[in-house]
Amino acid sequence: MIPRFQTSLRIALALTATVLAHVAYGQDAAPAATTAPDAASALTPPKLVTFVDAIYPAAAKAARLQANVDLELTIDATGAVTSARVAAPVGNGFDEAALEAARRFVFEPAKRGDKAIPARIRYRYLFELAAEAAPLPTTGELEGKILSRSDNQGIAGALVTLSAEDGQPTRTAISDPSGAFHFSALPPGRFHVRLAASGLAPLAADEEVAAGELTSVTYRMEGAGKASAAATLEFGATATIEAPPREVTKRSLSGEELLRVAGTRGDPLKAIEYMPGVGRSPQAEFIIIRGSSPADSEVEFEGAPVYRLYHFGGLTSFVQPRLLDKIDLYPGNFSARFGRKMGGIIDVGVRDPKTDALHGMVDVNVVDSSFLFEGPLAKNWSFAVAAKRSYVDLFIDKLVPKDQAQITAAPVYWDYQAMLAYKPSSNDRFRAMVYGSYDDLKLILAHPADADPSIRGGVSSKTEFHRAQLTWQHKYNAAVEHEINLSTGPFSFGTSVGPDLAVQIPGYEGFLRSEWRARLTDRLRLLGGLDVSYNWFNFSYDGPRPTQIDGDPDSFGPLTGRQNVSLHHSYGFLRPAAYLEAIWQVAERLTLVPGARVDYLGDVDRWTFDPRLTGRYQLTATTILKGGVGLFSQAPSGADSLPVLGNPHLRPGRAQHYSLGVEQDLGTRLKVTADGFYKRLSDLTVNSPVPGENLNNDGIGRIYGGEVSAKLRPTAKSSGFVSYTLSRSERNDHGEGWRLFNWDQTHILTVAGAYRLGRGWDLSGTFRYVTGNPLTPVVGSVYNANTDTYKPIYGAINSDRSNAFHRLDLRVEKSWHVRSGSIAAYLDVQNAYDRHNEEGRAYNFDFTKTGVISGLPLLPSFGVRAEF
């Protein structure tokens, strides 16, 4: 409650009487006494009997001025004021007002003994304004405390932005050292509060302010106890859809965790490989989720699929890490929002630009350099621009032996992102973004490759895509909101290898998502929308007919001796989809999420219907049981549905997902999860044994296993997680019997941790153990006299296995605060104990000898980063 203050004129009297030592005004001067006074001569000062209010000077009152006026009053024996003067003028009319009033004072005269005597006294007249009587209040106040979630300490310097629903100007405040902030004179109503602090996940909330009331709130921000310039990534670990979480299993890594994963050179997208349930491939861009083919999973970037997440097959990701807002992995039983895939989904999002001030970052390391600038542009507008470019091209020619190859266009990659955000009110949010990526490599081999003479002459690879994206989020009211996301842009893929392989695929693609989210009741929410994709491309292919890779060890064999085909045609196909999902809190502890999705796959002219159901049961305050079942459909990949190369009559692949799990909080920092999963696959695209039919749908598969993970909630000091997956992934082509899938990895163990030592030192490490991938042994070979090459004779498909992979990565970073920014130097060491992991098997020309190809040895990467 706000205390009510009355404002009125209140004059406080303070009487200071100085009894004069001698008599004035005709009193006979008494001879100085030389003896002690007796009761008959006792002196009594004058006593004010009648007080007169002074007229408060109008100008001083309007100006809320107050004053003390010292007066010298002469009082006769009758008690009347015969003379008054100002001893020390104060001005502003106070002197005159005090004199006028004091002259009308009436005193009880001073006495010496019983005899009244005149006296002269000092009198202080006080002019003070009292609280005015207030009218009924029309405004309220909002005060709050911002605390760290980890240690409940106040967060200083946090920017608090207050936005009214009625379009009133946004107000801002900065939290004080205790984390407190205050807004006064707020019109009553609903306000949208946003908190932003360096190194912490932004927070948003809606608060109600009532007239005449003080609203007190407490917010807890996650990430750091103290704002740190070194921890600059701001993003949270939450899904874009409101809580409660709807997915059976969702793995998220926060900004703190992702930036600090050793072995990734500070690239959060490279940390995907370390997420629970994700397998390992020598090529990082092949993401293997719970035994699924890389082609069965998808990375969605701001609502649109991305086909090349990394430059040059895994070197570095295509987006500026510090723009990332979330990386959510759905290893199975994902929402009906996502479709056209049977494996898993990785949902990557970027944040809006910062609005508190202009910020920048420059990073220089041994491979590439990048920058990021962002900040406010105008009222309600903000921008961000980032770019990265490699400079491997500057020294690659010194690495490649000249007797092996001549680099004609050194490998180079670059990427860019630029965005504009406009938030005119708490109900609307607009964002326009352009981004793109480019990879290029050309070289001329000095000699044809041994054992594969088709690999000769010039080889090249070029990949680029560019997109423009518009996003609009609109809140109709507290219960209904709508989001539209449109992405479109050109792409181009091109590869050539000698005279026998040339591929060019320039094209254009577009993605539209229109999604409605409505809270019907406190227990029921609906989510529904349209998800449309369109592709047009000019397909030019001359080379060997590609085959399905899984289960066919010949698929990556030599080009020489293969039957070449040609296809030059333009294609365009539309894939619209509609989905609906309900988040239904059936009972206090039980939430069910039924959903369904309908897709039309224009490339194969097929409809699919995918019903899904997940559920979560809050067994105790710290234990959640969860489960899910669902159908998932997937169109044939890439060129599989094209004529000549594939089969236009292919059906979509299908998968059934089943999962059960439990989440258990142990204390405030530790969360343990355990999940069991089973996937049944059907209508898989496989090589056809029928002459004239390249591919058919005679493949089935099964994937089953369990995951256990334990995760420490990140604090200012530390973060970490441990995960272990035990699984089996098998396929059966044409009823030939079950065999291991190409990417079956029985054991996947990941241990990651990061610790802030203090004084700007940051240490992190990651250890990974992964079972080796299945291999098909070579049991002999056949000499092809037409090509002078040997063709291997294979044993049972995937009946052998490569050696297990394990590796330790370490990262150390030291940062210094410099004025309003920071500088950091980091060393990222991959393969710290120089393990010679098997990345492949090499054979001699006639397959009579074999040996292991090792992966990268100990690889240090040094860089420097400056931020403000």
Partner 1 sequence: MNPNTTRTIMTNTTTETSSSRTAGLLLLGLAGGILLAGCGPTFDPASLITTTRVLGARIEVEGAPERATPIPGETADVTWLVTSPEATPPLGWAFAVCMPGTVGGKTSLGCESAPLALFEGTASPPRIAISVPPVDVLGSATSLVLFGQICSGAGSMPIFDPQSGVPSCTGGDGTTTSVNIPLQLGDGANHNPTADRGFTFDGQTWPALAAGDDPCVVGPRASAGTKDHVIGNTTEGSDRELYTALLGDPPVATPERESLQISQFTTAGKLTSQFSFVEGTDDNAETTVDVTWEAPPTTEVPAAGLPVTFTFVVRDDRGGTDWTSRAACVVP
By CB under 8 A, is residue 391 in contact with partner 1?
no
Helix (H, G, I), strand (E, B) or coil at 224: coil
Q: With contact defined as beta carbons under 8 Å apart, do 141 and 182 qualify?
A: yes
**Strand-strand pairing, 180-186 and 110-112:** unpaired
By CB under 8 A, is residue 278 in contact with partner 1?
no
By CB under 8 A, is residue 690 in contact with partner 1?
yes
Q: Which residue in 252, 254, 264, 281 binds partner 1 (CB under 8 A)? A: 281
By CB under 8 A, is residue 185 in contact with partner 1?
no
- Residue 294 CB, shortest distance to partner 1, in Å, is 7
The total number of residues written for the chain in this structure: 868
Considering the complex, state which of residue 424 and residue 857 has its C-beta at the smaller distance from partner 1.
Answer: 857
By CB under 8 A, is residue 342 in contact with partner 1?
no
Place of tokens 């009553």: 188
Considering the complex, state which of residue 78 and residue 283 has its C-beta at the smaller distance from partner 1.
Answer: 283
Task: Give the x-and-dash track for 16-55 against partner 1 (CB under 8 A).
Answer: ----------------------------------------
Considering the complex, state which of residue 167 and residue 689 has its C-beta at the smaller distance from partner 1.
Answer: 689
Q: Give the Cα separation of 712 and 727 in Å (integer).
A: 24
Structure tokens belonging to residue 628: 């899910």
Determine the Cα angle at 378 with ends 430 and 200, to 5°.
Answer: 70
Residues numbered 495-554 forming contacts with partner 1, rule: CB under 8 A: 495-497, 499, 501, 503, 505, 541, 543, 546-550, 552-554
Considering the complex, state which of residue 463 and residue 608 has its C-beta at the smaller distance from partner 1.
Answer: 463
- With contacts defined by CB under 8 A, name the span among 265-273, 332-340, 690-698, 818-826 that binds partner 1: 690-698
Give me the amino acid identity at 666: L
Helix (H, G, I), strand (E, B) or coil at 84: strand
- With contacts defined by CB under 8 A, name the span among 54-62, 259-267, 282-290, 377-385 that binds partner 1: 282-290
- Residue 536 CB, shortest distance to partner 1, in Å, is 16
* C-alpha closest to that of 349 among 323, 325, 320, 322: 325
By CB under 8 A, is residue 443 in contact with partner 1?
yes
Q: Which residue in 158, 209, 287, 441 binds partner 1 (CB under 8 A)? A: 441
Q: Give the Cα separation of 739 and 686 in Å (integer).
A: 14
Considering the complex, state which of residue 94 and residue 493 has its C-beta at the smaller distance from partner 1.
Answer: 493
Considering the complex, state which of residue 460 and residue 656 has its C-beta at the smaller distance from partner 1.
Answer: 460
CA 541 from centroid of its chain's CA atoms: 41
Sign of the CA dihedral running 446, 452, 454, 460? negative
Q: Which residue in 791, 806, 814, 835 binds partner 1 (CB under 8 A)? A: 791
Considering the complex, state which of residue 132 and residue 450 has its C-beta at the smaller distance from partner 1.
Answer: 450
Considering the complex, state which of residue 506 and residue 594 has its C-beta at the smaller distance from partner 1.
Answer: 506
By CB under 8 A, is residue 437 in contact with partner 1?
no
Task: Give the x-and-dash track for 553-592 against partner 1 (CB under 8 A).
Answer: xxxxxxx---x--xxxx-----------------------
Q: Which residue in 15, 772, 814, 825 binds partner 1 (CB under 8 A)? A: 772
Residues numbered 797-836 forming contacts with partner 1, rule: CB under 8 A: 802
Q: With contact defined as beta carbons under 8 Å apart, do 583 and 524 qualify?
A: yes
- With contacts defined by CB under 8 A, name the span among 236-244, 590-598, 658-666, 683-691 that binds partner 1: 683-691
By CB under 8 A, is residue 691 in contact with partner 1?
yes
Q: Give the Cα separation of 326 and 129 in Å (integer).
A: 57
| Secondary element (H or E) of residue 95 | helix 94-102
DSSP 395-407: THHHHS-TTTEEE
Q: Give the Cα separation of 235 and 255 in Å (integer).
A: 6
- Residue 508 CB, shortest distance to partner 1, in Å, is 16
By CB under 8 A, is residue 345 in contact with partner 1?
no
By CB under 8 A, is residue 253 in contact with partner 1?
no
Place of tokens 């044993």: 795
Considering the complex, state which of residue 820 and residue 844 has its C-beta at the smaller distance from partner 1.
Answer: 844
Q: Give the count of residues interacting with partner 1 (CB under 8 A).
A: 114
By CB under 8 A, is residue 458 in contact with partner 1?
no
Helix (H, G, I), strand (E, B) or coil at 97: helix
Sign of the CA dihedral running 680, 683, 684, 687? positive
Q: Give the Cα separation of 419 and 435 in Å (integer).
A: 9
Considering the complex, state which of residue 205 and residue 779 has its C-beta at the smaller distance from partner 1.
Answer: 779
* C-alpha closest to that of 342 among 621, 705, 599: 599
- With contacts defined by CB under 8 A, name the span among 61-69, 89-97, 374-382, 681-689 that binds partner 1: 681-689
By CB under 8 A, is residue 121 in contact with partner 1?
no
Structure tokens belonging to residue 649: 């009559």
Considering the complex, state which of residue 26 and residue 691 has its C-beta at the smaller distance from partner 1.
Answer: 691
Point out which residues pair with 297 in neighbouring strands: none
Q: With contact defined as beta carbons under 8 Å apart, do 864 and 838 qualify?
A: no
By CB under 8 A, is residue 390 in contact with partner 1?
no
By CB under 8 A, is residue 344 in contact with partner 1?
no
User: What 8-state DSSP symbol labels residue 143?
Assistant: E
Q: Which residue in 444, 468, 644, 712 binds partner 1 (CB under 8 A)? A: 644
DSSP 828-855: EEESTT----EEEEEE-TTSS-EEEEE-
Residues numbered 647-676 forming contacts with partner 1, rule: CB under 8 A: none
| Secondary element (H or E) of residue 562 | none
Considering the complex, state which of residue 12 and residue 858 has its C-beta at the smaller distance from partner 1.
Answer: 858
Radius of gyration of the chain (CA): 40
| Secondary element (H or E) of residue 822 | strand 821-830
- With contacts defined by CB under 8 A, name the span among 196-204, 578-586, 711-719, 776-784 that binds partner 1: 776-784
Structure tokens belonging to residue 159: 């920017």
Considering the complex, state which of residue 245 and residue 636 has its C-beta at the smaller distance from partner 1.
Answer: 636
Q: Which residue in 370, 463, 715, 719 binds partner 1 (CB under 8 A)? A: 463
* C-alpha closest to that of 744 among 249, 271, 272, 280: 280
